[in-house]
Amino acid sequence: MSESATRKDIDEVIDIMKDFMSQVSSQFNDVNRQFDEVNRQFDEVNRQFDEVNRQFDEVNKRLDRFDRDYDHLINTIDSFIGRIDKYETELAARDNQFEKLLAWARKVSEKTGIPLENL
């Protein structure tokens, strides 16, 4: 048996290597196509996240405006309550003063003999 390779043997090995390299190249091309698809999908997901972030920014702006409006309403209500408290205090003082004047008028009515009507 001869250990030397003939041209035919070398051509067979070269053909086997070519087939192997062709298969590897084809598989790498398939993997590249799959990566391209994954990248395309990833880009689409990023675009969707960007849109969601834009919507959240819009919602946050609206919530900030609602917070300012709410604060304004609370301040307005506090102001009205303060005015009502002051008005009620003034009414209570006036009622107290009226009761004192009415008591004084009744005493004067008794001493002078002039009746008070409708009081």
Q: Which two tokens stand for residue 73?
A: 């309403």
**From first to last of its 119 residues, what are the pLDDT tens digits of the chain?**
467 889 998 999 999 999 999 999 999 999 999 999 999 999 999 999 999 999 999 999 999 999 999 999 999 999 999 999 999 999 999 999 999 999 999 999 889 989 888 76
Whether the predicted model's global pTM rises above the 0.85 cut = no
CA gap 55, 116 in Å, rounded: 75
Angle made by CA atoms 97, 103, 104, in degrees to the nearest 5:
90
Spatial separation of the C-alpha atoms in residues 92 and 86, rounded to whole Å: 10
Tokens of 67: 């917070």
pLDDT at residue 22 in the model: 94
Distance (Å, whole) CA 22 – CA 85: 92
